[in-house]
Amino acid sequence: MYQEFTPEVLVLPTPKDVDRYAAGCVIAQINGKHDSVLTLPTGATPQGMYERLVQLFKQGQVDFSRVTTFNLDEYFPIPESHPASYAEYMKTHFFRHVNVPSSNIYLPNGQAESAHTEATRFDRLIQQRGPVDLAVLGIGPGKTCHIGFNERGSQVDSRTRYMPLDPQTREANAVFFKDPNEMPVGSITQGIRNILEAQRILLIAKGERKAWGIKRSLTCKPSSDVPASFLRFHPDVCFILDEGAAELLRSKYIALKK
């Protein structure tokens, strides 16, 4: 049996406020512990957070030279150099602009021969270099409510593995591929257990299209039908939402503290 906790829920006026607040949390983590280990997301939602982190780095407000990063997931199979790979996303939005040493950057290898062997290798690395101090997550579109690419049906004790993508995920993410037929049908993702092993978790969500998933994640009984609901088994989670993503929550909490 898992103990259930109430996440902190922060509702901010605009998407930009979400970017700034989330970046501020990441910086506070690193400035408090220079050799922090982070789990990082990709997708549309965190782009503004990365932009802000790069800006703060250029202003000298943070030093990433001792930081280690693990990405949540990568498409499989996909060449690393594919413009829509998460390896390429991370270089474009973050790693090319800051000083995380390349030897401290870990993503699942989307072009490995065997997804299973690669997932096992990646999982072992997280366990060797962990525990993760801070995991930043987005939430999947529509009814998926995925975290990482833990689609519906994922178990609370799942670890890094191959995961076929939900049709709703494929539809939502097709926009990132010039030719939607090039979109892989699968991924390698950290499991729910990997995510829950982080010391602290931030989930960021923006816009009304995430409102249903946010409401379900915060209110339904934690279950593999709503993978993000498993976050309620962690004692230190903060949902950072804009007004759109929070619109179905009965009461809007502003800076609600535990």
Site residues, ligand F6R (CB under 6 A): 41-45, 72-73, 138, 140-141, 146-148
For ligand F6R, the closer CB: 29 or 173: 173
Q: Take residue 257 and report the two structure tokens written for it.
A: 């503290």
CB of 257 to ligand F6R, least distance (A): 25
CA separation for the pair 7, 118 (Å, rounded): 33
CB of 91 to ligand F6R, least distance (A): 14
Give the strand order in the sheet containing 186-189: 73-76, 186-189, 161-164
Closest CA to 246 of 191, 193, 204: 204
CB of 60 to ligand F6R, least distance (A): 28
For ligand F6R, the closer CB: 36 or 194: 194
Helix (H/G/I), strand (E/B), else coil: 247: coil
CB of 72 to ligand F6R, least distance (A): 4
CA separation for the pair 232, 228 (Å, rounded): 8
For ligand F6R, the closer CB: 14 or 31: 14
For ligand F6R, the closer CB: 147 or 238: 147
First to last CA, the chain: 23
Tell me the residue number closest to ligand F6R, measured at CB.
138
For ligand F6R, the closer CB: 124 or 209: 209
Sheet strands (E) in 107-175:
134-137, 161-164
For ligand F6R, the closer CB: 9 or 165: 165
CB of 6 to ligand F6R, least distance (A): 22
Task: Decide: residue 145, CB within 10 A, 0-12 exposed, 13-18 middle, 19+ buried.
Answer: buried
Amino acid at site 193: R
Beta-bridge partner residues of 189: 73, 161
CB of 203 to ligand F6R, least distance (A): 9
